[in-house]
Amino acid sequence: MHTDLFEMDIDVQVVSGAYIHWTMVNMYQGVQNVVVRFRTKASTSESYLLINSHFDSKPGSPGTGDDGAMVVIMLETLRVIATTRTPFHHPIIFLFNGAEENPLQASHGFITQHKWAKNCKALINLDSAGSGNREVLFQSGPNHPWLMDIYRKSVKRSFASTFAEEIFQSGLIPSDTDFRNFCDFGKVPGLDMAHSYNGYVYHTKFDGISVIPRGTLQTTGNNILGLVRTFTNSSILKDPSRHAEGHMVFYDFFGYFVVSYTESTGRILNTCVSVSAVLVIGISMYLMAADSFVSIGYTLRLFSLIFVLHLIGWILAIALPLLMATIFDSADRSMTWFTSKWLVFGLYICPMLMGLSAPTLLYLSISRNDKVSQPYRLQMVDHAHTLILSILCILLTYSSIRSSYFLMIPLLFHAISLVINMVTTLHKQAYYWSIFVMLCQIIPFLYFTYLFYALTCSIMPMMGRFGSSSNPDLYIAIISVLGTMLSMGYLIPLLNIFNRPKLVFLILPAVTLVIALIAITQIGFPYRPATNVQRVNLQEVRRVFYEYDGTVSRNESGYLFDFQDRRKELPFAPYVDLEDLYNISDECDKYMMCGMPIFNHRTTKSRRQASFLPREVPLQLPGVPQLTLLRKTINTTTETVRFEFELKGPSHMSIFVQPLEKVTVSDWSFLADMLLREPPFHVYFSYGKISTPLKFYIDLKTENSEFEEPLMQLGISGHYINFEHERDAETKKFLATFPPYSYIMEWPSSYERYMF
């Protein structure tokens, strides 16, 4: 480090706090951040650039991809800046946060409580949902277009997509990042970037250094270093709020450069291209009518027929892949593509092409319209495709779907081919017009093939942790339809140029049949040891229900399964004895939070899909949370009763509160906004360096002011997720029966239900 130019301050923050995260109060105590402030000595700027990654990992996972690689890149960026004599204007905060997986606690602690947080004016958030390769920019802003200008100028190997941003923000992706807290609680605009390749090993024991491509650190490091240098010398960083102007549309072009413009510019561009494309096909049909010596009315009637047929083709193109996805799911054969990605070609792409082309191919094969030639009628098929795309583009654009640029791209290039054909008069020379149609569709074909291949490589592994309630084949089918429609929508009608188009067409159902048969063999089995595993969250559970008089009404041990994908327990049947396994949905109707030690916000959401396997041998737990009623105080003035408690236990616990009928929670020691929601109320509590007991109170109010009767259920769950806790012999024996292609994220947990 050049001490004559730079200075560095290091602060280890130990912080406690709470905020509402999804359906729970997310409360933390004594979590850590390592914060580095690096600046040029001559700088007087008080506007900081914040760079964040997390050094914690999921229990059982080395965390090399998530998020060790990004931590290394941050450290190397700091080293390069410190050892080169290149001054910069704005200071940099390197935040190595210690509780992202918990979830997102340390970032909240930093942005709401750290002394340097108020100076942070822009953010680069670095995370991962995979293991290396290129990092994707999947969130920008919000409402700060200048961020994309900096990204475009700084990044050498870009990979960015508005489509990825809209998918992520829709909630379809089963992940979240610290970016949320920095934006929501600190109002810090920024860029959210993550590695998403090879998500099969994400959050598993296989996420080690051996699966990280070595070029990852260099490529991502170069990009981050370029961003840091541009950000720290940007005059905008002094007051970014003056440059908040709305959402951006952005996408990279094969990684070589980035196209970006504001949402309002996108509306104008999409509208102009769509309207122009419709005008061009109108001129084309006028020329067809003149050249065919028929009236424009006759031409429009013929076009209307072809338009209806092509619209039916669109419906079939969507319906057939979805039907395939439904059939395979109904036959318990979902996710056949999970390891063998190429199966998607026969299962979804071929049916899509078959459905899109069938109606017009059949019509062109049997029609005998001598007034308008076959080449002209084939051009009308592409015109019908243009009209459908134009209508959809306008509708999506004015529905604020920024990814509507997808439709603008093929429209633009097809309109160019139409203009060229009309100017050169190739449009009336047999099938020669198809040459420029194909040439002009090369770029859309390559772009959408590139984009949707990258998308499927990211989405397919995520389906392995998407949960069991939804059919993942439907999502992959929709992605396949969208990508194929955009890349080949103008090309597939050109089958009719062949002398025997029906014979060429029959290749599609033949390929579908062959690949469907392959998919139901062992090739289509989704899982492989170490590389493509089936994930299961498994809790070894002991649950005890205490009644109001202190008696125990239920004392049971067993295993709580939270299956992470659609196939659930079926792949385990040949190996594991699951004869007594049952779904707990009925218990969710009967007991508060299903009467189970629900872990966090995600398991709360999926609890009705969970299953329970009782065991005869009582579970030997490492410990049990200790709940102590300190005092019960009746306030006759407010007609409320206060229960004060002290809770001791493991580093991860949950508190569930369910007032009984005609009883309400009027106040408590946690966040008051949570009480505006419907009970049961969930408080997720975890601690790090500070392990002092949690003291809290709950105030209850009744309609009859009677406080010497049962008023509420109080559930306490304790989670021993660290592997320093020994599993009992029965658990070890049970875990040993799982097949090698499974990854079991397991931990002992307790649940006590009390009545007060």
pLDDT category of residue 82 using cuts at 50, 70 and 90: very high
The residue whose two tokens read 């953010």 is 123
**Would you say 245 and 360 are in contact if contact means Cβ atoms under 8 Å apart?**
no
Q: Please, are residues 528 and 339 in contact by the beta-carbon 8 Å criterion?
A: yes
3-state helix, strand, coil in the chain (%, to 5): 45, 25, 30
- The β-bridge partners of 17 are 28
pLDDT of residue 734: 97
Tens digits of residue pLDDT in 287-336: 999 999 999 999 999 999 999 999 999 999 999 999 999 999 999 999 99
Indicate whether 630 pLDDT > 90: yes
Per-position DSSP letters for 199-230, written without gaps between them: TTSTTSTT-SGGGS-THHHHHHHHHHHHHHHH
Burial 577-598 (b: 16+ CB within 10 A, else e): ebeebeebeebbeebbbbbbbb
> Which of left, alpha, beta for 275 (phi over 0: left; psi -120 to 50: alpha)?
alpha
Q: Where are the alpha helices (DSSP H) in 493-612?
A: 501-505, 507-519, 585-590, 601-605
- What is the pLDDT, as a whole number, of residue 149? 94
pTM (2 d.p.): 0.94
- For residue 424, give the amino acid letter: T
Rounded to whole angstroms, the Cα distance separating 319 from 11 reads 58
CA 552/CA 525 separation, integer angstroms: 46
Summarised one tens digit per residue, pLDDT across range 97-108 is 999 999 999 999
CA-CA distance, 134 to 220, in Å (whole number)?
7
Residue 34 confidence (pLDDT): 98
Cα distance between residue 417 and residue 427, in whole Å = 10
pLDDT band at 505 (very low <50, low <70, confident <90, very high): very high
Q: Please state the rounded mean pLDDT for residues 741-754.
A: 97
Q: Is domain 6-246 annotated with CATH 3.40.50.12280?
A: no
Segment 411-433 shows an average pLDDT of 95
Assess whether the previous peptide bond of 91 is cis (omega < 30° from 0): no
Q: Given this model, what pLDDT does residue 155 score?
A: 95
* pLDDT for res 662: 92
Q: What is the distance between the alpha carbons of residues 11 and 9, in angstroms, rounded to a whole number?
A: 7
Handedness of CA 303, 309, 314, 315 (dihedral sign): positive
Fold of 533-756: Immunoglobulin-like (2.60.40)
Q: Which residue has the tokens 């949370």?
A: 625
Q: How far is CA 122 from CA 104, 150, 674, in A?
A: 19, 11, 30
* Lowest mean per-residue pLDDT among 236-250, 646-660, 726-740: 236-250
* Predicted local confidence at residue 175, as pLDDT: 77
Summary mean pLDDT of the chain: 95
Helix (H) or strand (E) run with residue 323 in it: helix 296-330
Sequence ranges of the domains in the chain: 6-246, 264-524, 533-756
Q: Give 688's pLDDT tier (boundaries 50, 70, 90).
A: very high
Predicted local distance difference test score (pLDDT) of residue 415: 97
For residues 176-189, average pLDDT: 95
Query: How confident is the model over 665-689, as a mean pLDDT?
Result: 97
CA distance 722 to 12: 23
Q: Is the pLDDT of residue 77 over 80?
A: yes
pLDDT above 90: percentage of residues in the chain: 92
Across the range 55-67, mean pLDDT stands at 94
pLDDT of residue 647: 98
What average pLDDT does range 165-176 have in this prediction? 81
The DSSP 8-state label assigned to residue 569 in this structure reads T
Give residue-wise pLDDT tens across range 84-98.
Answer: 999 999 999 999 999
Mean pLDDT of 229-237: 96
